[in-house]
């Protein structure tokens, strides 16, 4: 096995699982532990974000380049097109990420292909308003962290009990964003239009995936959903 291939393999091994010891890697690749240390040292020197801790093992920080991830020019066009739309549609954080992507791709493109793609996607049509974006950002955060949220719709009667939700997914339907959630009040799935949400509080409660209450379960029974 060539050294170069081995280096790729190490990255691969670290990417797949959470934690790996040098000994594990050495056995997997059929080299000595010392060599693994040397290889990893080299990888780090080349900018691969591997981190080691004594007594623990190695991890690779997520964000690392998806391995040899090739894109054809057409695929890049598709990404750029999508990214341009996303810049206008999504909440602030995702829009910023989209901008980053656009820059990275632009940098990587051979000069002659730059700006050739569907460049100026107008924002007129897509633009979400600022409030919606804020709520979106909040919900996305809650979704990532599995935090329960309490929301209130606009025009909702005040005395109505606020509902506690487990946010499961955000969908973009071209005109509006919707939040799909497990509603603890109704004990069922509910879908909410994000632009109609007046207030949104993160309760701090963390929920776990329970059978029958996950996004996957929702998707499996799509037809039965109820629009709130």
Q: Does residue number 17 form part of the binding site for DNA (CB under 7 A)?
A: no
- Per-residue contact string for residues 50-79; x = within reach of DNA by CB under 7 A: --xxxxxxx---------------------
Residue 190 CB partners (closer than 8 Å, separation 6+): 165, 180, 181, 182, 183, 225, 226, 227, 228
Among positions 84, 132, 147, 164, the unique one binding its own copies when judged by CB under 8 A: 84
Question: Hey, what long-range contacts does 132-135 have (CB within 8 A, 24 or more apart)?
Answer: 132/177, 132/194, 132/195, 133/90, 133/91, 133/92, 133/95, 134/91, 134/92, 135/194, 135/197, 135/200
- Per-residue contact string for residues 189-228; x = within reach of its own copies by CB under 8 A: --------------------------xx--x---------
CB of 111 to DNA, least distance (A): 22
Q: Does residue number 85 form part of the binding site for its own copies (CB under 8 A)?
A: yes
Strand segments, DSSP code E, in 133-208 are 147-153, 163-172, 177-183, 188-193, 197-206
Residues of span 132-191 touching its own copies by CB under 8 A = 143-144, 169-175
DSSP 124: T
Q: Answer with the entry of its own copies, DNA, none that 75 interacts with (C-beta below 5 to 8 A by kind).
A: its own copies
Taking CB under 7 A as the binding criterion, the range among 16-24, 164-172, 181-189, 197-205 that sits at the site for DNA is 16-24
Q: Does residue number 218 form part of the binding site for DNA (CB under 7 A)?
A: no
Neighbouring-strand partners of residue 189: 182
Taking CB under 7 A as the binding criterion, the range among 25-33, 104-112, 161-169, 207-215 that sits at the site for DNA is 25-33
Counting Cα atoms < 13 Å in the Cβ hemisphere of 225 gives 22
Counting Cα atoms < 13 Å in the Cβ hemisphere of 192 gives 30
Q: Does residue number 81 form part of the binding site for its own copies (CB under 8 A)?
A: yes
- From the CB of residue 96, how many other CB atoms can be counted at a distance below 10 Å? 12
Among positions 9, 13, 15, 33, the unique one binding DNA when judged by CB under 7 A: 33
Which residues are at the interface with DNA (CB under 7 A)? 2-3, 6, 20-23, 30-35, 37-41, 52-58
């Amino acid at each position: 096995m060539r050294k170069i291939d081995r280096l790729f393999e190490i990255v691969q091994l670290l990417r797949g699982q959470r934690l790996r010891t040098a000994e594990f890697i050495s056995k997997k690749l059929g080299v000595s532990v010392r060599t693994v240390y040397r290889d990893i040292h080299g990888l780090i020197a080349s900018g691969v974000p591997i981190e080691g801790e004594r007594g623990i093992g190695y991890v690779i920080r997520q964000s690392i380049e998806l391995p040899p991830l090739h894109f054809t020019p057409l695929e890049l066009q598709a990404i750029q097109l999508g990214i341009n739309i996303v810049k206008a549609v999504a909440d602030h954080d995702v829009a910023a990420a989209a901008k980053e992507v656009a820059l990275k791709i632009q940098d990587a493109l051979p000069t002659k292909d730059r700006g050739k793609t569907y460049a100026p996607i107008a924002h007129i049509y897509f633009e979400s308003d600022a409030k919606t974006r804020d709520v979106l950002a909040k919900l996305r955060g809650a979704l990532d962290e599995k935090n329960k949220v309490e929301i209130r719709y606009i025009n909702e009667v005040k005395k109505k009990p606020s509902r506690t939700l487990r946010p499961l997914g955000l969908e973009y339907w071209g005109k509006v964003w919707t939040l799909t959630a497990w509603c603890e009040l109704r004990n069922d799935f509910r879908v909410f239009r994000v632009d109609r949400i007046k207030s949104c509080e993160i309760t701090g409660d963390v929920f776990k995936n329970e059978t029958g209450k996950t996004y996957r379960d929702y998707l499996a029974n799509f037809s039965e959903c109820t629009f709130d």
